[in-house]
Amino acid sequence: MHQHLSSFIDDLKATHKGNLEAVILYGSAAAKDHDHKHSDYNLLVVLNKIGPADLRNAHAAIREWVKLGHNVPVYFTSDEIVNAADVFPIEFHQMRRARKVLFGRDVLANVEVSNENLRHQVEFELRSKLIMLRRQYIPASESVDGLTTLMADSLVSFVALFRGVLMVLGIDPPIGRRATLALTVEQLNLNGQTFEKINNVRNDNFDHPMSENEANELFAQYMDQIEKAIAVIDSLEPSSVV
């Protein structure tokens, strides 16, 4: 993986030349909480300026990166890094908490993350993910494999948002996913067994193949826990946010 990253950074340097200011790895891979089977290598690419030509010229390099199974990097200008933190408090908090500078300067070092819109963003993202989960359930419900895959894949996104939930509660969230999930369950009085079962599915650590009834029951419990988390966030007054 180190070789793949080095090659990709070389391609970005050749593509963007002096316009490239920084490449930063963030998230679980930077925090050494990486699961090679399920986790992604999240990259932030920072340019001095971004025009259509800059993005178009990056196509070849990014195409090869995506072929390896990775997400398209997030592109920001250096000015946007300074000005957008209050709009994306969850994302920037996660970047600041777990990051590794692969090229250039640490553009996140002096970024201040605003909490003003944090509760609103957390609730919005949780509700959006829940709506998406319901939509995806319709085709996934045709098979046990479809359901278990949906639960296993979506849990990663919800745990990322649970870090935002903990921030709303005034708690500095752990970097690791399991620790974040455990603390969220404790703080919101959720059913930890539901999430543990889904984690076991993700890690192929289930003691027996799930039946269709078991998979649907687990999914129902999963949605119930997400709805409870949203209800807690929705009940908080703006003044409760720290």
According to the model, what pLDDT value does residue 136 have?
Answer: 97
Spatial CB neighbours of 16, under 8 Å, sequence gap ≥ 6? 47, 54, 57, 58
pLDDT for the residue 87: 79
What residue ranges do the domains of the chain occupy? 2-104, 118-240
The CATH class of the 118-240 domain is mainly alpha
From the list 84, 76, 85, the residue with the least C-alpha distance to 42 is 76
Model confidence pLDDT, tens digit, residues 47-71: 999 999 999 999 999 999 999 988 9
Q: Which fold does the domain 2-104 belong to in CATH?
A: Beta Polymerase; domain 2 (3.30.460)
Determine the number of helices (DSSP H) and then strands (DSSP E) in the chain.
10, 4
pTM of the entire predicted model:
0.64
CB atoms inside a 10 Å sphere around CB 164: 23
**Shortest CA distance to 100 belongs to which of 3, 5, 4?**
5
Q: How confident is the model at residue 41 (pLDDT cuts 50, 70, 90)?
A: confident
Instruction: Please write the tens of the pLDDT for every residue from 72-122.
Output: 999 999 999 988 877 787 788 778 878 999 999 999 988 877 666 788 889
